[in-house]
Structure 1
Amino acid sequence: LLAMGLGPITPYRQARASVVWERIRTPLRVALAAGAGIVLLGERTGYLVLGIVAGTFVIGVIVRQLWVTARQAAVKQGQPVWRSLGKTVRRDPRYWGGQISHIGVAILAMGIAISANQGMETQVTLEPGQTVEFAGHELTYLEDFSRQEPNRTVLGARVEVTRDGSALAVLEPRLNQYARSAQPVATPAVDTSLRGDFYLSLTGIGGGRISLDVFWFPFVWMIWLGGLLAAAAGMFSLVVRKPARQPVVPEEAAEIV
């Protein structure tokens, strides 16, 4: 990640310390502030804090570089900076497509770091009406159900997921029994939100009880967003061509014409 951030700001044979510092000063401050912020929120996992700092630094360096380049072009052309941003990217699609792809990789890396370090899992056994707390959520076993489908028998359970007393979803993890299979196949139920993804996998049902594997993965959307952004920016850099330079017409030739 750090290589992605330092590469664009260290021009070949011109990487003077003063130039590099000017380019990384603001992104570094923002990255350190982000790291300090999650520490103040109670996070003490070193790898996670380092990942957030590195990812924020990479994004900050690229955003700053794009902003400065677009602002310089806007001043020369006498137009708003926001309009110059798109033109700046289109003038060199391979370079900026690669840089935006790096932003996607940074978001992806931060999402993986958060999900891997903050993810939780447990196993619970519940009776109808029983509630258990997990990862700031409450799980209440409502009822079981069964149905016969053309190629399988489905056994499942309805579990209500709430947070701070507010209902979020009613999930239905299932076990599917196929005629040619000795063991049932589990179909997990998932509740997706900006906070994270909640997975329930039914491992056993019978005797008025159910057994569940419960998983909580926070900020999974960052993984999807980062991956999609990296892929889209990569395609942009391959598909969009750099505009051809306009030929310079000598003044004498222009007068003759």
Structure 2
Amino acid sequence: QRVSVGAPYFNRMAVPLALAMIVLMGVGPLVPWGVADPRTLGRRLAVPTAVGLATVGGLGLAGLRGVGPVLTFGLAAFVVATIPAQFAAGARAVRQGHDTGWARALALAVTRRRRLYGGLVVHTGVVLAAVAIAASSAYGSEGEQRLEIGDSFSVGSHTATLVGIDSERTDRRMAISARVALSRGGRDLGVHAPALSFYPSASQAIGTPSVDSGALRDAYLVLTSVNDARTAATIRLALNPLVPWLWVAGGVMVAGALFAGWPGRRPRPATPAPPPVPVAEEITS
């Protein structure tokens, strides 16, 4: 008997663990050191909890569907809302012992506790990644259609038009590419060329998608088949929101990790004074 483990299984297992991790990232840094006083912890969590609940309520009223992604966005807002208070608390503690402004106090607090504040930056990157993954998984859309040259089809606000079909043959492979004009809401996004490559040693064609990246979404064009006369092709258009933010999240996590692990300046040990020379030796010399 063969059992296949696919995406639904991993979603059921991974999503609850990911949500629990996000909650711990928000609550953990706020727990008082040495003793978890419920009253103090509740006071620190009051504002972030209100921000998270307001985010969930606002997204629900806006018509955003899906319990999982909306809950992820709310928990992300909760975690992000905890971070400014921790930076402010560090600056406030420095100002109590030094007569300095807020900007310098914040800089001193951050440089003195690199691991803490670098870790908070890493938390921000993890939250950004969680939001991007939730959005791309829940709100992505795609469509596939067979097009004659000159035909179009739309997915969401994007329209793909088959302009032409090209082929190229070399000693190693034969490549067929479709020239597809992509537009969004009437704005031209250029002509893309998804392709299929056929190799003598491979039993199946290898596809090369074309990607149009934007600040808030990636659009993927995939060529799945072409007729023998090279007059029609089957094109798949997939829209994945917030995928570019995974790169931003990765950069934020790397920056936070480097800041947390960067070695600070160590005070130089004091140079010991030379031993005193006896008076008799001074006279002899």
Q: Same fold (TM over 0.5)?
A: yes
User: Which of 29, 44, 47 pairs up with 1:8?
Assistant: 29
Q: Is the 8 A contact 2:160 2:237 kept in 1?
A: no
Provide the C-alpha distance between the structure 2 equivalents of 1:222 and 1:44, rounded to a whole number of angstroms: 21
**Aligned to 2:80, what secondary structure does the other structure show?**
helix
Q: Which residue of 1 aligns with 2:46?
A: 25
Provide the C-alpha distance between the structure 1 equivalents of 2:268 and 2:46, rounded to a whole number of angstroms: 34
Task: Report deviation, 1:165.
Answer: 0.8
**Aligned to 1:159, what secondary structure does the other structure show?**
strand
Q: Which residue of 1 aligns with 2:169?
A: 148
Task: Report deviation, 1:6.
Answer: 0.6
User: C-alpha offsets along residues 156-201 of structure 1, whole Å, 9 cap, x if unaligned?
Assistant: 1111111111112321100112233232211010011012111111
Provide the C-alpha distance between the structure 2 equivalents of 1:162 and 1:40, rounded to a whole number of angstroms: 30
- 1:120 and 2:129 aligned: no
**Aligned to 1:132, what secondary structure does the other structure show?**
strand
Identical pairs, percent: 30
Provide the C-alpha distance between the structure 2 equivalents of 1:246 and 1:3, rounded to a whole number of angstroms: 40
Q: Is the 8 A contact 1:38 1:49 kept in 2?
A: yes
User: Which of 103, 110, 122 pairs up with 1:101?
Assistant: 122
Provide the C-alpha distance between the structure 1 equivalents of 2:219 and 2:97, rounded to a whole number of angstroms: 51
TM-score (norm 2): 0.78
- 1:235 and 2:250 aligned: no
Q: Which residue of 1 aligns with 2:90?
A: 69
Task: Report deviation, 1:90.
Answer: 1.5
Provide the C-alpha distance between the structure 2 equivalents of 1:125 and 1:83, rounded to a whole number of angstroms: 63
Task: Report deviation, 1:139.
Answer: 1.2
Q: Which residue of 2 aligns with 1:215?
A: 238
- 1:225 and 2:244 aligned: no
**Aligned to 2:63, what secondary structure does the other structure show?**
coil
Task: Report deviation, 1:244.
Answer: 5.3
Give the unaligned 5+ runs of structure 1.
Answer: 248-257
Task: Report deviation, 1:68.
Answer: 2.8
Provide the C-alpha distance between the structure 2 equivalents of 1:70 and 1:169, rounded to a whole number of angstroms: 49
Q: Is the 8 A contact 2:172 2:200 kept in 1?
A: yes
Task: Report deviation, 1:101.
Answer: 1.0
Q: How many residues align?
A: 247
Structure number with greater CO (CA < 8 Å, separation at least 6) is 1
Q: 7-16 or 104-113: which moved more?
A: 7-16
TM-score (norm 1): 0.86
State the one-letter code of the partner of 2:245.
M
Q: Is the 8 A contact 2:94 2:108 kept in 1?
A: no
Provide the C-alpha distance between the structure 2 equivalents of 1:245 and 1:120, rounded to a whole number of angstroms: 60
Task: Report deviation, 1:234.
Answer: 1.8
Provide the C-alpha distance between the structure 2 equivalents of 1:37 and 1:169, rounded to a whole number of angstroms: 36
State the one-letter code of the partner of 1:19.
T
Superposed CA RMSD: 2.4
Task: Report deviation, 1:153.
Answer: 2.0
1:172-211 equivalences in 2 (<5 Å): 172-206=193-227, 207=229, 208-211=231-234
Distance 1:85 1:140, change over 3 A: farther
Task: Report deviation, 1:72.
Answer: 4.1
Provide the C-alpha distance between the structure 1 equivalents of 2:171 and 2:141, rounded to a whole number of angstroms: 36
Give the unaligned 5+ runs of structure 2.
Answer: 1-21, 271-285
Larger radius of gyration: 2
Provide the C-alpha distance between the structure 1 equivalents of 2:179 and 2:249, rounded to a whole number of angstroms: 33
Distance 1:27 1:245, change over 3 A: farther
Distance 1:157 1:9, change over 3 A: same
Distance 1:125 1:6, change over 3 A: same
Task: Report deviation, 1:25.
Answer: 2.3
Q: Which residue of 2 aligns with 1:255?
A: none
**Aligned to 2:264, what secondary structure does the other structure show?**
coil
